[in-house]
Amino acid sequence: MDMDAEREQLIETWHGVVAQKWRQNPCCDMLRLLDAKNKVFNMPFRRCHDRLGWKSKDDLRLGGICAGTIYRTDSFMKGPLCKRTGKKTGQTVHIEHTVPVKVLESKWSEFRNDRPITEADQKVAYAWLLTHSVTTAFAKGQEAQLTPVKDTTAAFDKKSDDFGLPFRRYKALSNPQDIVWNVLSKQCIDFNTWTFEQHLDSILKLMREAWGRTSFPEIACLETLGKPLAYALRPRLPAY
């Protein structure tokens, strides 16, 4: 397992992501999240994730084989890069939505209902998406352990001990190869303490490293709009 190579791959992928300048030039799927007539957001979220490299399909050149994921399991990284494929035939890698897309869809609908949002509010959708979307690169087959919680998470349930802790959904993972790493910081993720605030901080750090600048419109947007969203999900720590 070459952590340095994984980190380099991540930063290179996100250099392309940042160059898209989403906030100034939102993609059509970002605009679909804002369309008042649209009530179904599953595919817009998935396609936005694809643009971030949070996908198993496609090759490395197109940001595939989970190249944009900050979080990767030990088992995923032990698989040789040349053998990583998201194709259904011979699939070896899987993009696991740590916060399931079905939950993102529901929470985004609630968020939209609580406030008027127009297409001019693309920066709101951008910040919301990056703050709440958490994905992890799995080796194909690891996801089977999560079948009971395939489309659910208690990370948004204020009555749950899992509130604000997106990785607590992985408590069913028990094997050493199921360890999840933040390849940007080279830290092992503690499922019981890693928060949305830490996730957003990782996104911001990644963007700065990928673009080689400390501030630009996308970062300013996340600093202003994303941090309050993440703070609202601050868990009651220490919970364990």
pTM for this one?
0.93
| Res. 173: pLDDT tops 50 | yes
Predicted confidence band at 186 (pLDDT cuts at 50, 70, 90)?
Answer: very high
How many structural domains comprise the chain? 1
Q: What is the pLDDT of residue 21?
A: 67
**Residue-number span of the structural domain to which 62 is assigned:** 3-231
Predicted confidence band at 122 (pLDDT cuts at 50, 70, 90)?
Answer: confident
Return the higher-pLDDT residue of 103 and 237: 103
Return the higher-pLDDT residue of 240 and 11: 11
In a domain? residue 240:
no
pLDDT in tens, 99-120: 999 999 999 999 988 777 776 6
What CA–CA distance (Å, rounded) separates 39 from 58? Answer: 28
Predicted confidence band at 180 (pLDDT cuts at 50, 70, 90)?
Answer: very high
pLDDT in tens, 50-96: 999 999 999 998 899 999 999 999 999 999 899 999 998 999 999 99
pLDDT-above-90 percentage for the chain: 70
Predicted confidence band at 175 (pLDDT cuts at 50, 70, 90)?
Answer: confident
In a domain? residue 89:
yes
In a domain? residue 190:
yes
Q: What is the pLDDT of residue 39?
A: 86
Q: What is the pLDDT of residue 90?
A: 93
In a domain? residue 170:
yes
What CA–CA distance (Å, rounded) separates 6 from 11? Answer: 9
In a domain? residue 236:
no
Q: Which residues contact 14 (CB under 8 A, 6 or more apart)?
A: 52, 53, 68, 206, 207, 209, 210
**CB–CB of 45/237 below 8 Å?**
no
Return the higher-pLDDT residue of 66 and 178: 66
In a domain? residue 220:
yes
In a domain? residue 81:
yes
Output the CA torsion 182→188→194→196 (10° steps).
0
**CB–CB of 70/206 below 8 Å?**
yes
In a domain? residue 239:
no
